[in-house]
Amino acid sequence: MNTGEKKFVEMLANYTKDNPRVFEGKEMYLLRNKSKSGMGFFEAGNFYPDFVLWIIEDGIQRISFVDPKGLMKLKPNDPKITFYKKIKEKQIRLASQPDLKDKVILNSFIMSVTPPQSLSEYWNMNNIEREMKNIYCLDNEDCIEKMIDKILSDDGNA
């Protein structure tokens, strides 16, 4: 794992350890996705997110694709960045299947290793605007909490 991936895993592990009540009654799995041979998304420029975060509660599967990465070489309209919208289209298609309706919630997150100030200057976008696009900066101590809150508050209505 690279530095950003390690930092994400460590921050997630610390958050789960420090906030056991958040995960009461839930199963959580963090899966490492294989680059170029794992789960990829053609519509997002052959995007292979580094991790799949799977939270199961009361028969609802919340599947989030998480990719820690530097963002200085990507533009805000890059398919990897806008995948947070595309994944919701997949969720809608899944929900059209009666046996999966309201049982699978999909999300995609970018966990930026690029510092927030640099990213704000480069993208001309503030933290709130980035977080609305599911982009969180690993330099922000509350990035994991915000991501988990977003995952758990998603009611599945894309």
What does the H/E/C string look like for 64-79?
A: EEEEEECCCCCCCCCC
Highest-pLDDT range among 18-22, 33-37, 116-120:
18-22
For the full predicted model, state whether its pTM sits above 0.85: yes
Cα separation, 32 vs 69, in Å, equals 15
pLDDT above 70 for 37: no
Contact by Cβ (8 Å): 57, 103 = no
Taking the C-alpha atoms of residue 61 and residue 93, their distance in angstroms, rounded to an integer, is: 15
Residue with tokens 């289209």: 89
For residue 100, the model assigns a pLDDT of: 66
Tokens of 99: 């046996």
Q: Is pLDDT of 40 > 70?
A: no
How far is the C-alpha of 114 from the C-alpha of 139, rounded, in Å?
8
Mind listing the pLDDT tens digit for each residue in 101-155? 668 999 999 999 998 888 888 888 889 999 999 999 999 999 999 999 999 998 7
Which tens digits make up the pLDDT trace of 58-98? 989 999 999 999 998 889 988 999 999 999 988 888 888 77
Distances (CA, A) of 150 to 49, 135, 156: 18, 12, 11
Residue 13 pLDDT greater than 60, yes or no: yes
